[in-house]
Amino acid sequence: MFSRRNIITYVIALAFILALNFLLPRMMPGDPLTAIYGEEALVAMTPQLKSELVERFALDQPIWRQFGAYVLALFQGRLGYSYYYNAPVLSVVLGRLPWTLLLVGTALVLSTILGIVLGIESGWRRGSGTDRTMLAGLMTLNGFPDFFVGMVLLIIFGVTWGVFPLAGALTPYSGLTGWAAVLDVIKHLMLPVAALTLAHLSGGYLLTRNTMITVLKEPYILTARAKGLSQGALKYRHAGRNSMLPVVTHTGIWAGRVVTGALFVELVFAYPGVGYLAYEAMMARDYPIIQGLFLVVAVAVLAINFLVELSYTTLDPRVRQVSRAY
């Protein structure tokens, strides 16, 4: 079962995120309403609306009452209003979230599978030329920031060869439907996903390779070999399967990193996900959006971590004992 220790961890993390989001704008010198809504929004505001907002945020009340009002609003799904987009923050953020999820999800699945396969092949041939080349190559790749990989892909495949679109997630005003639309989405997704996958491949690879090397020394591998099993069965069914577990346990942490990477990569390809939204909001000083984004992305990463931890305690019974041990 999921331990109490873990739940406390996530409660603390969530509390920190809420507190930061609440305190930061209110600690700024000057009018807190300006810090919450941004200069431009306030210029266009009528005095009535202003006093209404002061009341809604309980800005004339003591700080703990303000925090109460803030948390209450959150639980009602009110993340504020963006005067830049002229829409509620929640709907702006949720409108962009699917693109990021598509990007991050695809990249995470691809990099994990590819990392595992390469790790198994590399660990199987430990010390050989192939293994050493792969190790050096992937460690070098590991040093390339995802946004730089993205730019290089963009210039090669987008600008020079023109095989893939340069920006966006859809061809605007194309009016495509059915399979043509799906194909269009895939075409736009290709380069950003490739950038993220390449940049995040090495984590799964290194982990699988190292585990593979230890697993290959186990007696049951010798037994399987003695039984006369084929190379493929030995490699993937016996050694490979057992080398995958640590990768699963790390996926949660990687998910956080891939989300971060997606923020950068989306900017390179002007991909309309939450990362690009964050950039647009920063440029426009659209504080409500930045705050809402912070909350949604942080909570999403926490949720992914939580789910992964939950899944591997059921997947690998040994983990349960370890987490009880300290």
Amino acid of residue 64: W
Tell me 158's DSSP state: I
The residue within the footprint of other proteins, chosen from 37, 205, 287, 312 (CB under 8 A), is 287
Contacting range for other proteins; rule: CB under 8 A; set: 50-58, 76-84, 293-301, 316-324: 293-301
- Site pattern 253..272 for other proteins (x: CB under 8 A): xx-xx-xx--xx--xx----
Residue 26 CA to its chain's centroid (Å):
28
DSSP H helices, the chain, are: 4-27, 32-37, 39-43, 47-56, 63-75, 89-124, 129-143, 146-153, 178-199, 201-215, 219-226, 231-232, 241-243, 245-268, 274-284, 287-315, 317-325
3-class secondary-structure state, position 87: strand
Structure token pair of residue 79: 């993340």
Q: Is 210 in the site for other proteins (CB under 8 A)?
A: yes
CB of 240 to other proteins, least distance (A): 19
CB of 313 to other proteins, least distance (A): 15
Q: Is 244 in the site for other proteins (CB under 8 A)?
A: no
Name the residue among 111, 131, 66 with its Cα closest to residue 247: 111
> What would the 3-class secondary structure string for 221-249 be?
HHHHHHCCCCHHHHHHHHHHHHHCHHHHH
Within 8 A by CB and 6+ apart from 178, the residues are: none
CB of 49 to other proteins, least distance (A): 23
From the number of C-beta atoms within 10 Å of its C-beta (0-12, 13-18, 19+), residue 43 rates as: exposed
Nearer to other proteins, 136 or 315 (CB): 136
Rounded to whole angstroms, the Cα distance separating 4 from 53 reads 39
Contacting range for other proteins; rule: CB under 8 A; set: 105-113, 115-123, 169-177, 276-284: 276-284
CB of 297 to other proteins, least distance (A): 5
Q: Is 20 in the site for other proteins (CB under 8 A)?
A: yes
- Site pattern 66..105 for other proteins (x: CB under 8 A): ----------------------------------------
Rounded to whole angstroms, the Cα distance separating 92 from 88 reads 7
Q: Is 2 in the site for other proteins (CB under 8 A)?
A: no
Q: C-alpha distances in angstroms, 4 versus 20, 83, 124, 219, 315?
A: 24, 42, 39, 37, 19
Contacting range for other proteins; rule: CB under 8 A; set: 61-69, 106-114, 236-244, 296-304: 296-304
Rounded to whole angstroms, the Cα distance separating 290 from 279 reads 9
Nearer to other proteins, 137 or 225 (CB): 137
* Site residues (CB under 8 A) for other proteins, limited to 134-173: 136, 139-140, 142-145, 147-148, 151-152, 154-155, 159
Q: Is 47 in the site for other proteins (CB under 8 A)?
A: no
Pair 318, 10: CB distance under 8 Å: no
Q: Is 293 in the site for other proteins (CB under 8 A)?
A: yes
Q: Is 183 in the site for other proteins (CB under 8 A)?
A: no
Q: Is 206 in the site for other proteins (CB under 8 A)?
A: yes
Q: Is 13 in the site for other proteins (CB under 8 A)?
A: yes
Q: By the criterion CB under 8 A, which residues form the site for other proteins?
A: 5, 8-10, 12-13, 16-17, 20-21, 24-25, 28, 35, 136, 139-140, 142-145, 147-148, 151-152, 154-155, 159, 203, 206-207, 210, 250, 253-254, 256-257, 259-260, 263-264, 267-268, 278-279, 281-283, 285, 287, 290-291, 293-294, 297-298, 301-302, 305
